Amino acid sequence: MKNSSKNRKRRIYLVSRSIICVVVAGSIGSLFWSPGNLFLYALDIFVRTYLVFLGTVMAHEGVHGHLGRTKRANFFWGRLALIPSLVPFTNFRKTHRLHHAHTNVPDRDPDYFMKPRHAMEIPFRALAMPHQWYFWLRRRSLLDREHEAELLLNYSVIVAVFGMVSWVVGPGRVAAGMLPVLVLVSIILWYPFALKTHEGHSTGPSATRSHDYYGRLMYWFSFGLSMHRVHHEKPQLPWIDLLSFVEPAPPGSLGGLIPRLEIRTGDEN
């Protein structure tokens, strides 16, 4: 039984790591290709956006120890997965754990930053979200020398990778291929899978603090990120095990094409 469980975990590690390899190779490697027309450029941006988005999902798996048996393995694969998004895994790992510990609690949940005062703030907050974590941690004296050193290493690798790519293909190609992608990924990630999945920002029972999307379409699009409530209540489960918790898409959602949230208020019982 133990061997069967270990073998299953290894297969999950292999699947997730393979996705990360595809993400990094596809999103960065495609910068060496120059689209010949507007349609190809749009396709280039669309594909890279989705790949970078998947990288953030896999890095999230690393925060919860689902990319390997050791802390070292999860750090390595988590860092690698976030290189295309230009976000350091070091900050994400620390703030995401605080997000789980203090979900929706103002001043204690780093992701509470996404809650806007006005709707027009949403895209700007989404863009700033992963970069404001450093300042959030610093204001609360949650940075130590080890974290700073790790952060410097993270940024050094990111700069080295994109510096080499820029040297080969030119900074213009990197800017044209990455800037729209970073904007789109920020909005696709933080609006539906952070702001909406915590809509209402309840601080009541855990089942009311986070919400799931109905349907397998959202599940497979986000590789499990749509199952936000289940993830918060069962963070020990890797993304592939969240599939069994997916509720069928409700009538009127065109089979899940129109995303719908399952929001619990605590009054169901």
Q: What are the tens digits of pLDDT across the range 183-231?
A: 999 999 999 999 999 999 999 988 899 999 999 999 999 999 999 999 9
Give the tokens for residue 61.
């798996």
The whole-model pTM stands at 0.95
In the prediction, which pLDDT does 255 show? 76
In 119-248, which ranges are E strands? Answer: 212-213
pLDDT for residue 258: 82
Task: Give the pLDDT band (50/70/90) at residue 269.
Answer: very low
Position 35 pLDDT exceeds 90:
yes
For residue 212, give both structure tokens: 């799931």
In this structure, what token pair is assigned to residue 124?
Answer: 């700007």
Kindly state the average pLDDT of the residues 255-262.
Answer: 83
Segment 117-163, tens digit of pLDDT: 999 999 999 999 999 999 999 999 999 999 999 999 999 999 999 99
Positive or negative, the CA dihedral 225, 71, 182, 134 is positive
Per-residue model confidence as pLDDT tens digits over 194-204: 999 999 999 99
**Any idea where the domains of the chain sit in the sequence?**
2-201, 207-269
- pLDDT given at position 264: 85
Mean model confidence pLDDT for the chain: 94
- In this predicted structure, what is the pLDDT of residue 6? 83
Q: Please, what's the b/e burial string for 75-103 (b: 16 or more CB within 10 A of its CB; e: otherwise)?
A: bbbbbbbbbbbbbbbbbbbbbbebbeebb
pLDDT score for 266: 61
- Looking at residue 267, its pLDDT comes to 55
pLDDT the model gives residue 1: 60
Three-state SS at 262: strand
